[in-house]
Amino acid sequence: MSSPEALERPSLGDLTQRILTLPRDLGRRVVAVAGAPASGKSVLAETLTKMVNQAGRAARTIPMDGFHLDNAILDARGLRACKGAPETFDASGFINLMGRLKRGGEVVYPLFDRERDIAISGAAVIEADCDVAIVEGNYLLLDEDPWRALAPLWDLSIWLETPEAVLRERCVQRWLNHNHTPEAALARAEGNDLANARRISATRLPADVTLND
């Protein structure tokens, strides 16, 4: 990782160019896009992936959400109510996948089906000739074990800094879009999403680039 930058808003073109010029130490360049729930991680990751591909370099977006633990495991551990918190993910499995991505070669990975609320194993593949993996997730820069083991794997890390009021509005709307009542949507946002957002913000490692929303 390079030295962290001051808070700024570089253009997408600047970020794309920075990704394109990253040194290649091993098999594949791996970029982290981290932030709180509803901070816009997936949109930014997909946009950067598209722009890197348009520049002639093969890139794919890999979401962290495929490593949600199954609801049956969460129920057994009493964690269903806080689904989405760091301890409700297969962190070790995710860290192992990131190591495999870094080394290169074809890598198969799981995806999360939000409508069915389950992770689907073997649902996507990053091809051997893919040069750049742009990974998006809440806990890519979390300064807690075992998550902090991810930091050395990032060739570039990007943090999305988003005001809590904006996160609240987006999280509520997300749950409304999944047919929750306004009361239930607000409860999900306040009781889980924003609690996780505060935890991430309070215990995170520095990023190479920080984007203010």
Confidence of residue 9 (pLDDT cuts 50, 70, 90): low
Q: Taking the chain, what is the end-to-end CA distance rounded to the nearest angstrom? A: 23
Confidence of residue 131 (pLDDT cuts 50, 70, 90): very high
Residue 3 pLDDT more than 90? no
Which domains are assigned to the chain?
A: 12-162+204-212 (3.40.50.300)
Whole-Å CA distances, 185 to 9, 68, 114, 115, 118? 31, 20, 15, 15, 19
Q: Which residues of 87-118 are buried (b: 16+ CB within 10 A; e: fewer)?
A: ebbbbeebbebbebbbebeebebbebeeeeee
pLDDT at 6 (0 to 100):
40
Mean pLDDT on 89-105: 96
pLDDT at 5 (0 to 100):
46
Confidence of residue 79 (pLDDT cuts 50, 70, 90): very high
Give the span between the Cα atoms of 22 and 178, in whole angstroms: 39
Q: What is the pLDDT of residues 18-46, one digit of tens each?
A: 999 998 767 899 999 999 988 999 999 99
Q: Which of 89, 109, 85, 112 is nearest to 99 (CA)?
A: 109
Of 77-91, 127-141, 177-191, the range with the lowest mean pLDDT is: 177-191
pLDDT at 178 (0 to 100):
77
Q: Name the pTM for this structure.
A: 0.89
